[in-house]
Structure 1
Amino acid sequence: MTTIERTVLGAGIDRVDGAQKVAGRAPYSSDVTYPGMVHAVLVRSAIAAGTIAGIDASAAEGEPGVLAVITPYNAPRVARGPESGFWRQPPPPLQGLEIAHHGQYVAVVVADSRERATAAARHVAVFYRPGDPVLALDDPRAETVRDPFGSDQTRGDSAAALAAADVVVDAEYTTPDETNNPMGLFTTVAAWDGERLTVHDATQWPAGARAVLAGAFGVPEEGVRVLAPFVGGGFGAGLRVWPHVILAVMAARVVDRPVKLGLTRPQMFTGVGHRPATVQRIRLGARRDGTLTAIEHESVQPSAVNDDNIVESVTQVSAVGYACPNVTTRDSVRRLNVPVPTSMRGPGDAQGHFALECALDELAYEIGVDPVELRLRNYADVHPELGLPWSSKALRECLEVGAERFGWWDRHPTPRATRRGDILVGYGMAGVSFFWFQQPCAARATVDREGRAFVRSAATDIGTGTYTVMTQLAAERLGLPVDRVRVGLGDTDLPRAPMQGGSGMTASMGSAVHDAAANLIQAFLDLVAGDIAAPLRGRRAEEVLAADGGLRLRSDPASGESYREILERHDLAELTADGSAAPANPQELGLAPAGPFAARFAEVHVDADLGRVRVARLVSVVDAGRILNVKTARSQIIGGTVGGIGMALLEETVTDPATGRIVNGTLGDYLVAVNADVPDLDVTFVGEPDRFNPVGVKGVGEIGLVGVAPAIANAVFHATGRRIRSLPLTLDKLL
């Protein structure tokens, strides 16, 4: 595939939506109001397993301003939403008396104000027949589902290779439950107009939400409109249609008025998913020179007892990360009485890389080969499974440039050998990748008589910069200044778009915008094809260049005319064209699609007496294909890296092992990285435009987090000589 020429692309321009956000004018779902709108508040289960024996809502119903109390005993019937292409929806709420986890919604109170609904919700009396919850991965009662993702892989004979290996590393690594915790609390506003439904939601996938809601409430999909022009963060939490969304729509139908339902922070911990814990066993076999001969990687993670959610494979990185002839990867899930897990930034790969990259560090110290050199010796020049050359890959450059920028080769290689007074200094690294992801997408482009472009698609922007890079891309393709291009997102009345997740939006929507712009240029050429006054009459698309607000001949840039001139001569107010794109076939292209790659280098300071760990430096070198906006791309890597620091040192969702209650379900108790935890972060981009899509991008949203935790963990080992194999790396594990 050819890639587009660069003019405004790559420039680190400010976010086009930045002024709106700073001024408080960006419309989030929590800002939406309707005339006559009322408010819904949720009642959550106080047990983790069992059944509801009865509900007494009479006191709540008698509270001032209360319009309805909806429980399993009077709730309208709704269907389980259809599969969305990636996930089957959670069971719809209030459709039965079974309790599957602590915090499950058991009632919803609707009143004329949020305060009155909250007060009334406290008067809903719920009676239970408690059961004995299954809460631990090692509980023998837990149902086990093997290969739930269909991604288990076997290449060669890993058992025989391990038996014959010169060196074997065999270790178990664990990661805890973590909660996405976007800044914006999820809010849904639902309004019915007969059988037509409008929903404002904090969703990362408006089109998916539309399909689910139509199926759940038995209305035509074209009768549902979902609006999410801005989302206050998601990190994966907004990818599914959660029970509170169904309840907002249900409540609006019951009271026949628009309803707003906003989650509290504790409800965000139980109602919109979380990164599931993992227990991973990894075995590496190698020759004495560091050449890998075998990898076996097994992972167990929890899922909810009543959910068929597909959470991403944890072990897939070991199948494709390095050149190794004998590989076995296995994932399994155990069903527990826990809230439904979901994707969280860097899903699957974040946990899997922690085990793989730490195990490689263990191997490097065992055989006396430098950790960077070990990875270079096992570099996969072709895709290990497909045997095809990568569509692009600059991981070698990431490792080499990162080592140079960090000063890696100057460090003392012996653990616990570098001190500054009472502080132990350690250096660690990790080489990382993220899976390739691209989905079909459609877009529409319009140019009007004023020489302004309007490009739109039903995708949303969760803060990643989609508005900005799509503005730049459209400006590039149509030959317009950036300030003459407007992008519309977050409305299912626009051309269908995939989810904002998996680092796939820029490739998916970017390719669709690329196609729409090309079709629009062709539409202008078709318009002047029979126009004797047109300097571009009879010209083909490859003969013209979009520049200076119009079309010019490539061979003679002085010959051409503006969009305004063409439209005025044909008495048209505007011209519009649609575009679409779908992922290419690897076999047809003869290429293996490559996601982004990166190398992480971390310096940590560990208090020798107290065990307190501080990250002093982090260097990230990233291959993300063509960078459309270096400023927003760097911001994405910095944001992800901060999340990686949290994953390494702070974040852990703690569940009471007796009751199933999350005990740290507030931001006062659940620790996230703040300014004091974050050093200056060095970010460098390397690599070339990717060949698997016409824009040449690979995405930067997820790779920013992946690999940070193992780099820090490896640095802690180098500082202290103690190998900590469970996250987070808290001081009690170092004392």
Structure 2
Amino acid sequence: MTTIERPRLVGAGVDRVDGPLKVTGAAPYPNDVSLPDLVYAAPVRATIAAGRIGRIDTSAAESAPGVLAVFTHLNAPRLERVPEPMLGPPPPPLQDDRITYYGQYVAVVVAGTAEQASAAARRIEIGYEPAEPLLDMNDPRAERIENPFGTDVSRGDVAAGLADADVTIDASYTTAENTNNPLGLFATVAAWDGDALTVHDSTQWPSRARAILAKVFRVPESGVRVLAPYVGGGFGAGLRVWPHVILAALAARETGRPVKLVLTRPEMFTGVGHRPATVQRVRLGATRDGRLTAIDHESLATLSIDGDNFEPCTAGTASAYACPNVSVRDRQVRLNIPWTNSMRAPGEAQGNFALESALDELSYELGIDPLELRLRNHADSYPQLGLPWSSKALRECYAVGAARFGWSRRGAEPGSMRDGDWLVGHGMAGVSFFWLQEPCAARATVRDDGTAYVRSAVTDIGTGTYTVMTQLSAEFLGLRQDRVTFDLGDTDMPMGVVAGGSGLTAALGTAVRAACRDLVRAFLDLVRDDPGSPLAGCDIDDVTVADGRIHRKGAPELGESYTGILAAHELTELTADGESAPPRPEDVGMAPAGAFGARFVEVRVDPDLGLLRVARVVSAIDGGRILNEKLATSQIIGGTVGGIGMALFEDTVTDAGTGRIANATLGDYLVPVNADVPDMDVIFVGDPDRYNPVGVKGVGEIGLVGLSAAIANAVHHATGRRIRSLPITIDRLL
């Protein structure tokens, strides 16, 4: 194996600071919360996909043992609907008799125990007035939305570019609906004290949840507190305030008791969103020497009747390659299905499969190596604006990944590589993923015992936020990591950003940096006019920090400790706040670069049995500054497993007649297990990014992007069969 020197941007692989709590079972997840006089709620779900409730009889449930209350659209209080431009909540539950998808909440039972609530819920009788549901993307009755995100892009003349091409590709690709299946079942515990609401919830965005709950229940936002210190995974499922959260808060207010509501696994399939299905058409034109003359990419994605899912599948295509003539267009079709929602690497996971599969097809038509074709069309600058990237090491990803994988030993012809009875295939894909950076705030405190406490109202869905922010805080304050506590998951802390969109580390890290710098500046302000202090008259740029001390740059002996300054001024602690907001590209003269990468995959195919095995995966990733090698590697490996699931297993199957999800358990909805996960090699390359002062780019989602295309391309190399529909199942290989 080729030895690759670790680049200087990779930080130490520090163990998770929250690891001991998790492995000992002491980490407090929402489902672990217990309050005095706690009662339990169980929802009732619709058994039709479209229509109305004709009658509803709750008498048997109301008389069941332990039942405190039953709420339906007939007696539930009126709640405020909160339209949001992105990641807004579904309509509040129990507001009318209309049914728009199978599994919609139509009642909720509150009882003394979870078992009593579930048993009573099964005793509710509902008569429906069904309508014919819209379940097929091709149904002419279904509403189609053109350019729903305002992200359609066109440059040059695609028709002319295709006409001038020596070779063209025109193919359609389909991806299945996938369902977020975090290990932890989503749970909400809600308690009211007058008009003050406290909610423990499986949310990826506590600050947004607080704002939404305040609007829904018409109470001051200052009176709502959302707690989410630990979340049992999310993959995007926790981005919205889902109806079950509203049900728990509603039941708590109406009964005057704290209420816990824990979704079952089948309820997770209809209650917390799923990745939409897509049908995509890609047309490529190229000269004989492999220069792209045109890219035309159109996507049609599923959308729930009332949904607002923001997921442009073609947006990444506009900037993926240097091509003079490009058109990308997204459309959505409204169906009677549960809410579609972001799932790890939303949009790009589907769009990259189509684009990178089409490029692979083009490489065979041209007789050019797939890697070489991508190199010839590398976008050295951001195509739409003509601005330089804030950072981009994609060429290095290709080179390092290919060397580690042994790409040069690949036979060019499909079916040319064997290992006994197995056909061997090598495939690759180039990948990128945008990052979503939102404004964020943090607060830093140094105490008179020399310890620091830094916090923000974000959450950690397992990505390692506790750990990397502890590392950053220690670096910015010049303290040992064991002297720093980073805390999160409480909206009483400064406003936090969403744990999603691969932007948390950049946004929060920048806010933490600002808070720590302002805290050091506050210490300097204390001694600025002190003639006895070696730091008198110093500004922030005149000093550095190390070993719990602030000292003049280049003169470690001229400084003071935090504890010494606090003692001299009779203070027990000093605190400062910091904020961050992303700059605009035109203001900084460069385009924000998300993460880039190259995925190389080897597959084995048994042509007689149709068996497909992923044998190994090499991922070369440009993630900017890597704060913690161990955690970043774990993110890429986890994303890769998700990509294998998308490529080979995951398919949320909806019954065509009823709209019922037919495989809503982990026994029927297949995900990769240990035997499906191959050897993985992860290499980080590149330089710190210039778009934020911390130098990071998110790696939470780039790990999933490109796997499905690389696997499909490897299958073609092994068998000569081009698979354009996911997941790739045995019947498609026989």
TM-score by structure 1 length? 0.98
The answer to whether structure 1 residue 282 and structure 2 residue 273 are counterparts is no
Aligned partners of 1:450, 1:479: CA distance in 2, in Å? 15
Deviation of the 1:447 alpha carbon: 0.3
| Preserved CA contact (<8 Å) 2:478 2:549 | yes
Q: For residue 109 of structure 1, what is the aligned residue in structure 2?
A: 109
Residue in structure 2 matched with residue 208 of structure 1 by the alignment: 208
Q: Post-superposition shift, 1:8?
A: 12
Name the SS for the 2:154 alignment partner: strand
> Matches of 1:32 and 1:81 in 2, distance apart?
28
| Alignment match, 1:68 | 69
Q: Any residues of structure 2 matched to 1:194-233 within 5 Å, and which? A: 194-233=194-233
* 1:93-113 deviation digits (Å, cap 9, x = unpaired): 100101000000000000000
Matched residue SS, 2:556? coil
Q: Deviations over 1:475-523 (max 9, x none)?
A: 0000000000001101111100111101000000000000001000000
Equivalent-residue separation in structure 2 for 1:488 and 1:266 (angstroms):
33
Aligned to 1:87: 87
One-letter code aligned to 2:371: V
Kept in 2, the 8 Å contact 1:9–1:476? The answer is no
| Paired residue secondary structure (2:316) | helix
**Cα pair 2:10 2:629 within 8 Å, conserved:** no
Matches within 5 A, 1:412-423: 412-423=411-422
| Aligned residue in 1 for 2:3 | none
Q: How does 1:161-176 map to 2 (within 5 A)?
A: 161-176=161-176
- Find the counterpart in structure 2 of residue 335 from structure 1: 334
Kindly indicate whether the alpha-carbon contact (under 8 Å) linking 1:9 and 1:473 is maintained by their aligned counterparts in 2. Answer: no
Looking at structure 2, the residues matched to 186 and 253 of structure 1 have their Cα atoms a distance apart, in angstroms, of: 20
**Fraction of identical pairs, as percent:** 65
- Check the 8 A contact 1:148/1:310 in 2, yes or no: no
| Pair 1:536-2:535 in alignment | yes
Cα pair 1:81 1:213 within 8 Å, conserved: no
Partner of 1:319: 318
Amino acid at match of 1:304: S
Q: Which residue of 2 aligns with 1:53?
A: 54
Q: Which residue of 1 aligns with 2:433?
A: 434
* Contact kept? 1:506, 1:697, Cα under 8 Å: yes
Residue 594 of structure 1: aligned partner = 593
Q: Quick one: distance in 2 between partners of 1:362 and 1:19?
A: 49
Shift of 1:17: 0.5
Q: How far does residue 82 in structure 1 lie from its aligned partner after superposition? A: 4.4
Measured after TM superposition, the shift of residue 237 of structure 1 is 0.4
Question: What aligned pairs does 1:555-566 form with structure 2 within 5 A after superposition?
Answer: 555-566=554-565
**4+ runs deviating over 3 angstroms:** 6-9
C-alpha distance in 2 between matches for 1:327 and 1:9:
36
Q: Is the 8 A contact 2:30 2:200 kept in 1?
A: yes
- 1:413-434 deviations in Å (ceiling 9; x for gaps): 1001111221100000000000
- Residue type at the aligned position of 2:525: D
Alpha carbons 1:311, 1:341 under 8 Å: kept: no
Asked whether 1:346 is paired with 2:345, we answer yes
1:151 is the counterpart of 2:151: yes
Specify the code of the residue in structure 2 equivalent to 1:416.
G
What does residue 458 of structure 1 align with?
457
CA-based RMSD: 1.1
Residue deviations 1:192-250 (CA, integer Å, cap 9, x gap):
00000000000000011011100000001111000001100000000000000000000
Amino acid of the structure 2 residue aligned with 1:272: V
Matching residue's letter, 1:724: I
Tell me: CA distance 1:317–1:687, structure 2 relative to 1, closer, same or farther (3 Å): same
How many angstroms apart in 1 are the aligned matches of 2:216 and 2:108?
A: 18
Task: Return the offset for 1:288.
Answer: 0.5
Aligned to 2:519: 520
Letter in 1 for 2:16: R
**CA distance in structure 1 between the partners assigned to 2:443 and 2:689 by the alignment:** 24
Matched, 1:363 2:376: no
Please tell me whether the aligned partners of residues 422 and 609 of structure 1 are also in contact (alpha carbons under 8 angstroms). Answer: no
Contact 2:9 2:625 in 1 (8 A): no
TM-score (norm 2): 0.98
CA distance in 1 between partners of 2:147 and 2:306 (Å): 18
Tell me, in whole angstroms, the C-alpha distance in 2 between the residues paired with 1:13 and 1:44. Answer: 45
Q: What are the ranges of 5 or more consecutive residues in structure 1 without an aligned counterpart? A: 1-5
Judge conservation of contact 2:87–2:239 (CA < 8 Å) in 1.
Answer: no
**2:13 counterpart residue number:** 12
Equivalent residue, structure 2, for 1:28: 29
Alignment of 1:486-525 (within 5 A): 486-525=485-524
Q: CA deviation at 1:436?
A: 3.0
- Cα shift at 1:9: 7.7
The separation in 2 between residues aligned to 1:376 and 1:676, in whole angstroms, is: 34
Pair 1:663-2:662 in alignment: yes
User: Once the two structures are superposed, what CA deviation does each residue of 1:67-96 show, in whole Å capped at 9, x if it has no partner?
Assistant: 00100111111011242x523321111001
Matched residue SS, 1:316: coil
| Partner in structure 2 of residue 272 of structure 1 | 272
Rounded Cα–Cα distance in structure 1 between residues aligned with 2:385 and 2:70: 56
State the 1:7 CA deviation.
11
SS of residue paired to 1:455: strand
In the TM superposition, what is the alpha-carbon distance from 1:311 to its structure 2 partner?
2.5
Question: Residues 578-657 of structure 1 correspond to what in structure 2 (within 5 A)?
Answer: 578-657=577-656
Q: Kindly tell me the number of residue pairs found equivalent between the two proteins.
A: 728
1:185 maps to what in 2? Answer: 185
SS in 2 for 1:320: helix
1:334-366, CA deviations, whole angstroms, 9 ceiling, x for partnerless residues?
000000000000000000000000000000011
Q: For residue 3 of structure 1, what is the aligned residue in structure 2?
A: none
Counterpart CA distance in 1 for 2:177 and 2:544 is 52
- 1:356-395 correspondence to structure 2 within 5 Å: 356-395=355-394
- Asked if the contact 2:549/2:561 (under 8 Å) is kept, the reply is yes
CA distance, structure 1, for counterparts of residue 491 and residue 672 of structure 2 = 35
Amino acid at match of 2:46: S
